[in-house]
Chains A and B, each alone.
Chain A
Amino acid sequence: RAKAEAARAAMGGSASLLPREALGEYQELTFLSKQEILLAYKRFSELLPKEERENACSARVPKSRILTLPELRANPFQHRICRVFSTSDDGDDSMSFEDFLDMLSAFSDSATPDVKSHYAFRIFDFDDDGTLDRKDLEKLVNCLTGQGEESRLSNAEMEQLIRNILEESDIDKDGTINLSEFQHVVSRSPDF
């Protein structure tokens, strides 16, 4: 209960720090509700060191701190997520508050399937070449089954699996999955 009280107090405090027009703007541009944006602001400013909390809107949080968030800590795609949503110019995958909001918006329940599948494609594309080829699929499956030698599929199983995946989703039979094929196959997946 003490945590909830502190959260409420913090939220009350941070509401005054986040300017109203910015709040309204963020609400329009993302799929998040006002409450969610304020909560995101609070979480984001907690990741910053104390001195930078005043202008949280323009600060950038390094990747190592982002990865301490509980939701990302357990996620096997944590590095890809940081890479995809970060707009940092020097390639260090640090995230600003707007990148953070983008990420939350894409993962929220009210985001459209188009947006979700677009970002999912970029996350799964490990070599950033715009298509999912065999190597990307292999890395994807290994991420899913876990790190460690005993949790990987055998080579034969991996071959069989990748062959099945390509059979199901590769419409133009070029051996890779492009964005439209990915969106097509994901639109028919009930669990996405």
Chain B
Amino acid sequence: RDCQQTDIKYLSGWKQWKRTSSKSLKKVLNEVKELSSYLELWRHDIHSIEGKFGTGIQSYFSFLRFLVLLNFIIFILMFSFVTLPSVISKYGVFNSSFVKIPPKNTEPHCTYYKPSGNKGIVYFYTYLKDLLSGTGFLEVTSLFYGYYTIDAAWISMLRYNLPLAYLLATFAYLALSLIWIIKRSVEGFKQNLVHAEDQFQSYCNKVFAGWDFCITDPNAARLKHRSLQYELQTDLEEERLKRKIADRTMKEKLRIYSLRIFINIIVIAVLSGCFYSIYRATVFSQENSNVSIRHGIRRNSVANLLVQYLPSIVITLANFIAPQIFSFLIRFEDYSPAFEIRLTLLRCVFVRLANIGVLLFSLWSQISYCATDECKACGYNYELYPCWESEVGQEMYKLMIFDFIIILAGVLFMDFPRKLLVTHCSCKPVQWCGLQEFGISDNVLEIIYGQTICWIGTFFSPLLPAIATIKYFIIFYIKKISLIHTRKPAARPIRASSSNFFFLVVLLIGLVLAFIPLGISIAHIPSSKACGPFRSFNTSWAVVPDTIREFPTGLQQVLYGIASEAFAVPFFMVICLIMFYFIALAGAHKRVVEQLREQLVMVSFDPLFCTSKV
């Protein structure tokens, strides 16, 4: 206060006015920030979790909140551009109507598609079964691709091109997710780059910034102490290990490398086993599910439901067993502890995301399996899959529902009984097992897996993001209750800064992996001729060149120019040059930092410099 008042005396009138105006501006900004913080979802819940369990676990819940918001925005996007116009035009609201252009140049047998819906007297459990498997009455709703069999919608004099809107909305939500994730991860990336560049900083970081000042609970404080002690000891241990590794003899190195190659072969074998079993399960499930009309009979038994869910079950089993195998195997590979954790995580991430890819691949091999000429004329197996996009949408829907059921079941049947057992049974082995820790990486991989399914599935099932939003909303509360009542804080907590960045990097990998199946579906596989907005096109992508052909010639030429090699190659070279420039700049900055450091050392012996700092 005294400093400020003395400063004010010496400032001129202009500067004083500037100061007061900047102060009032700051006040206004603060008020706005205060108001907007009230709108933030779950602010109080996350704050209390941070106080009890530390910032590592809090970052998981913030990540979950981010996914809820992302899915909600994607849902709004798809709903307003795709579902709303269809619904409006189908019900004739606002003087709207729709146009169904009969597809030209296609064989009539390709266009035959009659989803059964639910006609006549049906039992109640049929509804339940349909709800769980996305067939029956759900298949004809706007949940799935098959509903949008409109080529254009007329909304009071405006012609709305639905196929183009559908495709562009898909690209828009992918681009939006990409940009949002990158924006969020830029912060963490900057910090990680600084941190990784100067790896000698890690001790200072742990010691000076190690205490989490948000902890209010004495139990949590005790655990934090223990974890800090453990971390410091592990780091020192690692340093000693590194020195030991550097002193290894040639014979030992050979032994260890051959052991690692052998273990990697085992890992690849485990992965192939997973992929093959998923492939066989999908093929079996598709061949034996008797719900579509081709067989005429509908078997409403539980066995049928199980067969339908077989791919999901196998994927969940693989996602559960493979990480256990990996964490068992890595002990023999003799890496440093930090690298062990990272490698296991990478392998688990790969397993989870590749499983979805294998499922889709096996679905496609079924869909495009063509023996007859008639089938080849359509481009896909029209008998079994008259509307194959809805089938794929149904598989994604089933995966999502099953994922949700598994998470619920995990909490109900594993966490709570364990807690009951530990509190009421005082025998030694039970007490030694104790409560489970909240494994941040496992939980994060779970929700990233769910999000990847949502990204891939939204093209085939536009209302899927709504289901994902509700699912993650409920999961937040389930996980929070499970955390508070049945878990103990982790003994080796991950740091908040590195974990935020890690979550977003894995999410980005999931998004990029989601591009691949979508790209292949849109651009390569012929769209079904019996349903959907792309009936009159060869592939879903074909609507874009068609639209461009209707543009004025000048614009067409510009667009063709941009897409041609004459533009792409120089553009690529310019981008490379810019990248090299920035790399050189970073190197130069690093050298300047080194020089300044040396200068600091020399200058510090100057007595004048020392007294001014004190």
**Interface on A for B, CB 8 Å cutoff?**
25, 27-29, 33-35, 70-71, 73-77, 107, 120, 124, 130, 137, 140-141, 144-146, 151, 153, 157, 160-161, 164-165, 167-169, 171-174, 178-180, 182, 185-186, 188-192
Contact = CB atoms under 8 A, between A and B. Distances in A.
Interface in B204-252: 204-205, 207-211, 213, 215-218, 220-222, 225-226, 228-229, 232-233, 236, 239
A92 to B, nearest CB: 23
B597 A171 contact: yes
B205 A189 contact: yes
B27 interface: yes
The 10 closest A-B pairs by CB, nearest first: A146-B225, A74-B221, A172-B604, A145-B229, A190-B191, A190-B497, A192-B209, A191-B209, A189-B205, A164-B203
Given A146-B226, A185-B208, A189-B208, 18 more contacts: A28-B23, A33-B30, A74-B216, A137-B207, A144-B229, A145-B232, A151-B225, A153-B229, A157-B232, A160-B239, A164-B203, A165-B203, A168-B200, A168-B203, A185-B201, A186-B204, A190-B191, A192-B209
Interface of B: 1, 4, 23, 27, 30, 33-34, 191-192, 194-195, 198, 200-201, 203-205, 207-211, 213, 215-218, 220-222, 225-226, 228-229, 232-233, 236, 239, 495-498, 597, 600-601, 604-605, 613-614
A113 to B, nearest CB: 11
B613 A173 contact: no
Given A73-B218, A76-B211, A191 B497 contact: yes
Given A151-B225, A186-B208, A191-B495, A29 B1 contact: yes
A185 B206 CA distance: 12
Given A153-B233, A188-B201, A189-B208, A76 B225 contact: yes
A189 B209 contact: yes
Contacts of B23: 28
Contacts of B213: 71, 75, 107
Nearest to B4: A29
Contacts, number: 127
B236 A178 contact: no
A157 B221 contact: no
Contacts of B217: 74
Nearest to A143: B211
B613 A179 contact: yes
Query: What is the predominant secondary structure among interface residues of chain A facing chain B?
Result: helix
Contacts of A27: 27
A190 B205 contact: yes
A160 B236 contact: yes
Contacts of A179: 613
Contacts of B209: 186, 189-192
Contacts of B191: 190
B601 A144 contact: no
Most B CB contacts (10 A, CB to CB) among A35, A70, A124, A161 go to A161
Contacts of B597: 171
A141 B220 contact: no
Contact of B236 (A145, A161, A167): A161
Contacts of B232: 141, 144-145, 153, 157, 161
B201 A151 contact: no
Given A190-B192, A190-B195, A144 B207 contact: yes
B601 A172 contact: yes
22 contacts: A75-B211, A75-B215, A75-B221, A76-B221, A137-B207, A144-B232, A146-B222, A146-B229, A151-B226, A153-B233, A160-B236, A164-B203, A165-B207, A171-B604, A172-B601, A173-B601, A182-B208, A186-B208, A190-B209, A190-B497, A190-B498, A191-B495
Contacts of B239: 160, 164
B392 to A, nearest CB: 42
Given A70-B216, A186-B209, A192-B209, A157 B236 contact: yes
Nearest to A185: B204
A77 B211 contact: yes
Contact of B194 (A34, A140, A188): A188
Contacts of A124: 208
A5 to B, nearest CB: 15
A171 B600 contact: yes
Nearest to A148: B225
Nearest to A145: B229
A168 B239 CA distance: 14
A144 to B, nearest CB: 5
Identify the interface centre among B192, B204, B597, B604: most chain A CB within 10 Å of its CB.
Answer: B204
Contacts of B204: 165, 168-169, 185-186, 189
Given A74-B220, A190-B497, A180 B613 contact: yes
Given A157-B233, A160-B236, A178-B613, A141 B207 contact: yes
Contacts of A71: 213, 216
Nearest to A137: B207
Nearest to B211: A144
Residue from A25, A29, A165, A189 having most chain B Cβ neighbours under 10 A: A189
Contacts of B600: 171-172
A171 B603 CA distance: 11
Contacts of B221: 74-76
A151 B225 CA distance: 8
Contacts of A73: 216, 218
B234 to A, nearest CB: 11
Contacts of A144: 207, 210-211, 225, 228-229, 232
A151 B222 CA distance: 10
B228 A74 contact: no
Contact of B208 (A120, A130, A157, A173): A120
Nearest to A174: B604
A88 to B, nearest CB: 18
Contacts of A171: 597, 600-601, 604
A130 B209 CA distance: 19
A185 to B, nearest CB: 5
Contacts of B203: 161, 164-165, 168
Contacts of B200: 167-168
Nearest to B195: A190
A141 B613 CA distance: 26
Nearest to A75: B213
B228 A145 contact: yes
Nearest to B228: A144
A169 B203 CA distance: 10
Among A33, A157, A191, chain B packs the most CB atoms within 10 A around the CB of A191
Contacts of B218: 73-74
B213 to A, nearest CB: 6
Given A144-B225, A171-B597, A191-B205, A130 B497 contact: no
Contact of A190 (B30, B194, B216, B604): B194
B465 to A, nearest CB: 32
A175 to B, nearest CB: 13
Contacts of A190: 191-192, 194-195, 205, 209, 495, 497-498
